[in-house]
A = this chain, B = another copy of it.
Amino acid sequence: MAFIDIPSSTQEAHKLTLIPGPIEFTDAVLAANAYPAQAHTGPDFVAVFQSALKNTRKLFKSTDPDAQPLVISASGTLGWEIVGSNFLTENERVLLLSTGFFSDAFADCLKVFTDRVDVLPAPLGDVVSFSKVEDALKKAVDDKEPYAVITITHVDTSSGVLMDVEKYAELVKRVSPTTLIIVDGVCSVAVETLEFDKWGLDYVLTASQKGVDVPPGLSISFASKRALEKAKTVKPRTYYSNLQKWIPIMKAYESGAGAYFATPPVQLIHALDVSLKEIVPDLDARIAKNAVVAEKLRSNLDSIGIKCLAKPGVGAHGVSGYYFPESINGPAFLKSVGARGIQLATGIYKGIKDDYFRIGHMGVSALGEGRRDLEICFEVIQEALKENGYSS
C-alpha cells in the first residue's frame, strides 16, 4: 500500500489553533479527510455515512427512532436557515434569547422568514432573565398568539455564556407547551451536557469544527418527531434547506442504502465518522473532563488578574472570553502570543469587541491523551503579558 506524506498537525510551522473553532483536529480525523474518491451512493461510502448517522443520534443523547439526524454539506449557519424555512410560517412568532453576537445573527436569519422575532437580550456576560422569559411566554399565550418557536443559544461563541437549556426547556413545557424548543448548540454539542430526549428538545443544530472536532463544512443537527410534523405543514421557502428533501436521504443512508438529493461531502463524512467513534463511547466522561480543564484555565488566568467575560457560574466549557488588562494593548498582546506559536481569537461581542480576546478549549486540545495545549497556552499568555509590560 502506498502512502501520501502529509504534514502532521504537530509540525512546527503549524500554529496551535486555540480559537473557538475551527479547533485542532487529531491526525486520524485529518487522515480521514484525505480519504480517496468514492462513489457517494456506493456501498463502501454508504456504510461510513450510516455509521456516522447512527452515532449522531448518540451524540445528541436520543433513542427516539422518530427523531432525525441531519448531516448536510454547509457551514453551521445552515442550521439557522433550517429553523426559519421549516419550522415557521410567515406569521408565526419567535422568542429568541440572546447572549451575544451569534444569537443576534440567528435573529437576522429568522427575520428573513418572519417579521415577528422578539429578542430577549441578556446583560453582558450573563444569561437571559428566567422571569422575563416566563413573562414573555405567558403574555403570548394569554394573547392567544403563543410563540411558535423559542431559540436558546446554548453557548454563544462571542460571550462564552452557558445557558441552562434544561431549565428554560422545563419552563417552556410548563407555560407554553406548543412552542418548539430550538437550541443553537454550535459551541456546546460534545462539550456541554445536552439531553435531547430527556429535556424534550425539538431541534438542536451544530457544526463540525467545534466540539465534534472535524474540519468545517458540515451542518449537523437533530430534529424531534414534533418538529418534523410541524415541518410537514410549512410550505417550503427554500430548496437547499428543505427538510422534505433531506429526510428521505438521511433515512436511506442510515438504513444502509444510497440516495441522492445533493452530493454529500464524502471526505468530511469520513472524518466525522472517525471523530464520532472516538467521542461517542466516552461522551459523558469527556464532557466532565472538559469542564475541569476549562475551570482550571479560568482560575489560572484569574490568579494573574485576567478576568473572564462570563460571570461566575455561567461560563461555558468550550470557549471563554477574557478582558485585556487595562495597561495592555490587545493586538500587540495577541501578536506576542502568535509569535510564540499559539493562535487565539479576537473579540466579537458588539460594543466591546476590542476589549477582550477568546480562547477555545474543546476537542483534542482539551481532552487529547498526553496533550497539555491549555497549560502551554497559559504559559504563553504569561510570557506575552510580561513582554507587553504587564505585571499582575
Contact = CB atoms under 8 A, between A and B. Distances in A.
Contact of A36 (B25, B40, B242, B265): B25
Contact of A37 (B17, B77, B236): B17
Interface in A67-109: 73-78, 80-81, 84-85, 108-109
Contacts of A76: 262-263
A80 B240 CA distance: 9
Contacts of A75: 73, 240, 262-265
A21 B37 CA distance: 9
A240 B1 contact: no
Given A73-B216, A215-B266, A7 B11 contact: no
A33 interface: yes
A220 to B, nearest CB: 13
A285 interface: no
Contact of A239 (B1, B23, B112, B215): B112
Nearest to A238: B238
Kindly report how many copies of this chain are found in the complex they form together. Answer: 2
B9 A37 contact: yes
B265 A216 contact: yes
A345 B39 contact: yes
A209 interface: yes
Contact of A3 (B8, B23, B85, B238): B8
Contacts of A109: 239-240
Interface residues of A, number: 72
A28 B24 CA distance: 21
Contacts of A14: 36-37
> 5 smallest A-B Cβ distances: which pairs?
A217-B265, A75-B262, A2-B8, A77-B262, A9-B36
Interface of A: 1-15, 17, 19, 21-25, 27, 30-31, 33-40, 42, 44, 73-78, 80-81, 84-85, 108-109, 112, 207, 209, 215-217, 236-242, 260-268, 343, 345, 348
Given A3-B5, A4-B31, A30-B34, 16 more contacts: A1-B12, A6-B35, A7-B36, A14-B36, A14-B37, A15-B38, A17-B37, A17-B38, A30-B36, A30-B267, A33-B33, A77-B239, A78-B240, A81-B240, A84-B239, A216-B265
14 contacts: A3-B8, A5-B31, A15-B39, A22-B263, A33-B34, A33-B267, A73-B73, A74-B240, A77-B240, A81-B240, A216-B266, A237-B237, A238-B241, A265-B268
